[in-house]
Amino acid sequence: MMETQTLIRLLDLIGIGVFALSGALMAVRMRQTLVTASFFALVTGVGGGSVRDLLIGAPVFWVQDSAIAAVCIAIALIVWMTPERWWRGQLLEWADAVGLAAYAVFGTAKALAWGVPPVPALLMGVITGCVGGTIRDILAGVPSIIMRPEVYVTAAALASGLFLLLEWLGTGTPVAAVAGAVAGFALRGAAIRWSLALPSYRGARAD
């Protein structure tokens, strides 16, 4: 079975890569320059993890590893240089779903490793999974996904929560990590496919 540290590192790289891809896709769909696409890829790829590291008192991960910024910029270059038809459809949404699930689990695992209690660690997973996409949407001037009733934050919470639960039950980190990531992606994928949404607040009803 894959070693725990290898699996956690893989989830980290998947989250960074697909979030960087979603940021670059957003920029090229807006007909932006390569510089802007690279910036979008970078801030989307590392945004959630940066906030997490600042909150848990860890060194900001991508500042310590220059390869991460290089990967984000390389992804932006690939997207910017390739035909638009390669990136049509809902690829942005699906790439975001993969990043959301993988990064939520990784964020929770890293928080636990830094001595954060389970409940705050769950929230660190949600922040890790959601903040990058939120920054991307704000920069693009589009309504942020977290401000819509569509299932998004809930999928990150499911990934993090299931990971924590399975860890507590003693299944082992690899099993817990894969199960959490798959569950989070499945829920977010179902939301994309069938437009699943939570009920919105309707205010007080008239007497």
Collect all residues with Cβ–Cβ distance below 8 Å to 128 and sequence separation of at least 6: 15, 48, 49, 51, 52, 103, 104, 106, 107, 108, 110
Ranked by mean pLDDT, the top range of 1-10, 76-85, 148-157, 179-188 is 179-188
Question: Of 125, 87, 89, which Cα lies nearest the Cα of 106?
Answer: 125
pLDDT of 20 above 60? yes
Question: In terms of C-beta density within 10 A (0-12 exposed, 13-18 middle, 19 or more buried), how is residue 131 classed?
Answer: buried
pLDDT of 17 above 60? yes
* Least confident among 4-13, 93-102, 173-182: 4-13
Summarised one tens digit per residue, pLDDT across range 114-137 is: 999 999 999 999 999 999 999 999
What predicted TM-score, i.e. pTM, was given to this entire model?
Answer: 0.90
| pLDDT-derived band at 22, boundaries 50, 70, 90 | very high
> Which residue's structure tokens are 């590893």?
65
pLDDT of 47 above 90? yes
53 alpha-carbon distance from chain centroid: 15
pLDDT of 207 above 50? no
Q: What would the DSSP string read from start to end of 61-111?
A: HHHH-HHHHHHHHHHHHHHHHS-GGGG-TTHHHHHHHHHHHHHHHHHHHHH
| pLDDT for 204 | 57
| pLDDT for 92 | 84
Mean pLDDT of the chain: 91
> Which residue's structure tokens are 């690899």?
174
For residue 10, the number of C-alpha atoms closer than 13 Å in the C-beta half-sphere is 10
pLDDT of 206 above 60? no
pLDDT of 86 above 60? yes
- Which has more confidence, 42 or 144? 42
| pLDDT for 2 | 56
Given a contact cutoff of 8 angstroms between Cβ atoms, the answer to whether 56 and 69 are in contact is: no
| pLDDT-derived band at 205, boundaries 50, 70, 90 | low
Phi, psi at 197, each rounded to 5°: -145, 150
